[in-house]
């Protein structure tokens, strides 16, 4: 199985050709440990059968639940995924959800190649043309995390998005850890703040998900 490609951008160390073999091996090791460049990851080699299962805690209330995604079909246009209740959803090649199969409805929470310092913006459309959502995201770290499924080296992506219409406003903040070994994220924190003075004012919900199982497709 082809691994998710990880490399080191600009991984070059200056060494005179007269350097001995031992020195060359040392330089090679230094480059591989990211001392000669930044770590980056290309799009994951997703396959039919790839499966992710998460445990989620919803606050307030500490309500526990589980959710999952399994790839059932891959086409040039999208990736079809089955959810825990049997529903079929569409994603793009970066595993960004495409609501109703319409790319203009997607939130671009991941954009490849991933590298620390990368940043982008996105605009999410809705059925109503009266409003839209504006968001931004950035890769803020490459770090090790531990979840029930194991310990992984991951890219931390932080994103936020805001939309409003009349007196109603919504603000979302994501922190996601995208991990090459599992081809997608292994952890997510999502905070949703909804404010409507005519419907109880504001409320905040936090969803914390951690990967408990990953199975690679064939």
Both tokens assigned to 90: 């569409």
Average pLDDT across the chain, whole number: 86
CB 110 within 8 A of CB 97: no
Residue range 34-57: average pLDDT? 88
Q: Is the pLDDT of residue 174 over 50?
A: yes
| Alpha carbons 199 and 214: distance in angstroms, whole number | 40
pLDDT tens-place string over residues 159-171: 999 987 777 889 9
pLDDT band for 138, please (50, 70, 90 cuts). Answer: very high
Q: How far apart are CA 189 and CA 99, in angstroms?
A: 20
Mean pLDDT of all residues in 5-22: 43
Mean pLDDT of 206-214: 98
Yes or no: say if 188 and 109 are a contact pair by the CB < 8 Å rule.
Answer: no
Q: Residue 19 has what pLDDT?
A: 39
- Given a cut of 70, is residue 69 above it in pLDDT? yes
Average of pLDDT values for 182-207?
90
Q: What pLDDT does residue 186 have?
A: 98
Output the pLDDT for position 86: 97
Query: Does residue 97 contact residue 89 with C-beta atoms inside 8 Å?
Result: yes
Residue % of the chain over a pLDDT of 70: 81
Would you say residue 136 has pLDDT above 80? yes
Task: Measure the CA angle with vertex 174, ends 158 and 118; round to 5°.
Answer: 20
- Count the Cβ atoms, other than its own, within 10 Å of residue 54: 24
User: Helix, strand, coil proportions of the chain in percent (round to 5)?
Assistant: 10, 55, 35
Structure tokens at 159: 């994103």
| Block residue for tokens 């292994």 | 186
Average pLDDT over residues 162-191: 93
Q: How far apart are CA 39 and CA 85, in angstroms?
A: 37
pLDDT at 62 over 70: yes
- Rounded-to-integer distance, Cα 57 and Cα 121, Å: 28
Residue 79 has pLDDT above 90, yes or no: yes
Q: For residue 4, is pLDDT > 50?
A: yes
Query: What average pLDDT score do residues 46-58 get?
Result: 98
């Amino acid at each position: 199985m082809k691994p998710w490609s990880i490399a080191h951008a600009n991984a070059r160390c200056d060494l005179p050709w007269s350097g001995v073999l031992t020195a060359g091996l040392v330089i090679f090791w230094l480059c591989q440990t990211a001392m000669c460049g930044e770590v980056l990851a290309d799009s994951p080699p997703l396959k039919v059968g790839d499966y992710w299962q998460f445990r989620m805690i919803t606050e307030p209330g500490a309500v526990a639940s589980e959710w999952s995604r399994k790839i059932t079909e891959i086409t040039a246009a999208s990736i079809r995924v089955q959810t825990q209740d049997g529903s079929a959803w569409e994603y793009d090649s970066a595993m960004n959800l495409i609501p109703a199969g319409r790319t203009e409805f997607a939130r671009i929470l991941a954009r490849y190649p991933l590298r620390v310092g990368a940043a982008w913006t996105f605009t999410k459309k809705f059925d109503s043309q009266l409003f839209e959502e504006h968001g931004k995201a950035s890769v803020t770290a490459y770090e090790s995390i531990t979840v029930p499924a194991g310990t992984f080296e991951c890219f931390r992506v932080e994103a936020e998005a805001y939309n409003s219409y009349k007196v109603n406003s919504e603000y979302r903040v994501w922190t996601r850890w995208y991990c090459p070994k599992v081809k997608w994220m292994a952890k997510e924190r999502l905070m949703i703040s909804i404010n409507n003075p005519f419907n109880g004012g504001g409320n905040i919900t936090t969803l914390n998900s951690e990967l408990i199982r990953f199975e690679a497709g064939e």
